[in-house]
Chain A
Amino acid sequence: MTLDTALPRAGMILQPLLLILLAKRRLLCELPVFSFYLGFGVLTIFAGEAILRFSPTWYLHFYLVNICGDALLGLCVLAELGRSVLRCNRRSSSKWPLALLLLVPASLLIWPLAHWTIPPHLSLTWILCFRLEQTIAILQVASLLALVWWSNLLHLRWPDRELRIASGLCSFSLVALLVAVVHTHQAIGPEYHWLDQAASASYLGVLAYWVVTLRTKSNDDARFLCTNPDSYVTCRRNGGIAKVTKEN
């Protein structure tokens, strides 16, 4: 078995496993977009394998459509994380449509910039592929940075679960951006494909991280957050501070 077949197969195992874990922990309804994003990942892995086997010439077109859908869903996951963080902090924000509107000029700005470093002798489909890869990677990292900056500005607390999801997305987006940037300065050859494999491996690493961390209980679920042994006061998670009892 080569790395090219092993990586998608590992994805075929890890992504459904993650979905099962989400369902088991009753998180499908709490994080519907993230669940859909993972489900979309499962579908595209199987579809990609089928296209490679039966009609390989169509694979590049499939890949272009796939990265667009994946990017859109990724941005929706970020919006869902933002909403979840707001809800956890019991705050509301009426400015989220503005953030969505800002995505349009940001994309229009990045699109021509992404053309700048692409080698000119490539075919139209490959140029389109490079531009899309770079635009999407930059847009995802920029959206992540905007979300982090905004939560810092409002001083919002990130619940453990959302923090883990965001950490995974951060790592994968940065690797994707790094690969997209290096690709534009690289000659087509075996080294070119190694980077693609490295990006796939990093995504598998993120999936494995999510699987492991979703299996462990988060601090928000399990921890007695406040203890003060001097005055024998213990705050219980469910009772809250208001129902603090003095223990003898």
Chain B
Amino acid sequence: MILPLLQIAVILAVGFYLLRWRSGAHRRNGQTWDSLLASLRPEWSARELSDHFLWKEGLAATQDEAWDRMQGAKGLWVMYQNSRVMLEMADFAASHSEGVDRMLLETLASDAVQIRVCVLVALAQYGFSQASEGVRINAYRAASMYMGMAARLTQLLQEHAAVIVPDFVAAM
């Protein structure tokens, strides 16, 4: 008797997952530029890591300084969330204007995946060993990629949607 119940429970769980995915995908299709801007996390800004944030890649801080300025796990989590929103912004810009460089879009998608993986690894390490050397290295790498992604997205928006760049810069 347990086996059929178990099988049905698994199928219902898969159904629930697919339902959640569907509502998420549907909600994403209804997003506007304003709602995307509003979903950027405001608690922490990567401006604290470089004076040229959004315009140039690279960090103006050592590993230890970067860790302190990003306020540890708080900055990491903001980068995790914002990398997803930035990718959605790039997709939004691409779907509303002609001639967006496909390679640039693929680079941004790859950046977002790498940032999220790096942040998750750093957060897992942080959970076990607090702010060890390994955590700081991973956090620095994530921040470095985040700077690069933000600069590339700014470049894309400047080329294809210059009028919305000021709002984007202010929100970041």
Contact = CB atoms under 8 A, between A and B. Distances in A.
B34 A228 contact: yes
A145 B14 CA distance: 8
Nearest to A240: B97
B29 A220 contact: yes
Contact of A242 (B29, B33, B97): B97
Nearest to A224: B32
B25 A90 contact: no
B11 A242 contact: no
Interface hub of B17, B25, B94, B95 (most chain A Cβ within 10 A): B25
Nearest to B32: A226
B106 A228 contact: no
Interface in A56-73: none
A155 interface: yes
B92 to A, nearest CB: 8
Nearest to A227: B32
Most buried by B among A153, A174, A246: A174
Contact of B163 (A88, A181, A182, A233): A233
B160 A163 contact: no
Contacts of A163: 22, 25-26, 29
B112 A155 contact: yes
Contacts of A226: 32-34, 92, 96
A174 B33 contact: no
A91 B32 contact: no
Contacts, number: 114
Contacts of B7: 117, 181
Interface in B9-55: 11, 14-15, 17-18, 21-22, 25-26, 28-30, 32-34
Nearest to A174: B15
Contact of A159 (B4, B29, B84, B160): B29
Interface in A100-137: 117
A182 B29 contact: no
Interface in A122-180: 141, 144-145, 148, 152-155, 157-160, 163, 166-167, 170, 174, 177-178
B61 interface: no
Interface string A230-248: 0001010100111110100
A90 B4 contact: no
A178 to B, nearest CB: 5
A26 interface: no
A225 interface: yes
A147 B54 CA distance: 34
Contacts of B34: 226-228
A122 B97 CA distance: 61
Contacts of B25: 157-158, 163
Contacts of A225: 32-33, 92, 96
B100 interface: yes
A220 to B, nearest CB: 7
B117 to A, nearest CB: 10
B102 A242 contact: no
Interface of A: 88-92, 117, 141, 144-145, 148, 152-155, 157-160, 163, 166-167, 170, 174, 177-178, 181-182, 185, 219-220, 225-228, 233, 235, 237, 240-244, 246
26 contacts: A91-B109, A144-B18, A145-B14, A145-B17, A154-B109, A155-B91, A157-B28, A157-B95, A159-B29, A160-B29, A166-B22, A170-B18, A174-B11, A174-B15, A178-B8, A178-B11, A181-B4, A182-B4, A225-B33, A228-B167, A241-B93, A241-B163, A242-B97, A243-B97, A244-B164, A246-B163
Interface of B: 3-4, 7-8, 11, 14-15, 17-18, 21-22, 25-26, 28-30, 32-34, 84, 87-88, 91-98, 100, 102, 105-106, 109, 112-113, 160-161, 163-164, 167
